Amino acid sequence: MKFLRLKPGFGEVLLAEGDPRVDADLERLEREFRRQLDAGMWAGVPLSGVRNGRREALLVSNLAEVPPDAEAVIFFPRAQGGDGSSEQRCSRRGRTL
């Protein structure tokens, strides 16, 4: 399994790689997974096939949710900072969401 990070201008950057069936690899993957989520990243597992010209992914919040046959987990930044602590405002109406 590979952990990839999407970086604008760089494409995919390899963060970690290992076999989750091997204890040492699993521990390393779990640490990296948590590190990325703590940094405010989303985690998605690409689903096979393309539907209506679009790719799909399963969003996961812990390594146990990743399907055992997954080849990769892709981490990408959340749209607004990622920590959820700031209020979001609707720019058209000025309302707090």
Give the span between the Cα atoms of 33 and 38, in whole angstroms.
9
Spell out the domain ranges in the chain.
Answer: 2-77
Residue 16: HSE in the Cβ half-sphere, 13 Å Cα cutoff: 18
Q: What percent of the chain has pLDDT over 70?
A: 79
pLDDT digits over 69-92, tens only?
Answer: 999 999 999 876 445 544 444 344
Predicted model pTM: 0.73
Instruction: Identify the pLDDT of residue 27.
Output: 96
Contact status, residue 41 vs residue 51, Cβ threshold 8 Å: no
Give the span between the Cα atoms of 97 and 89, in whole angstroms.
6
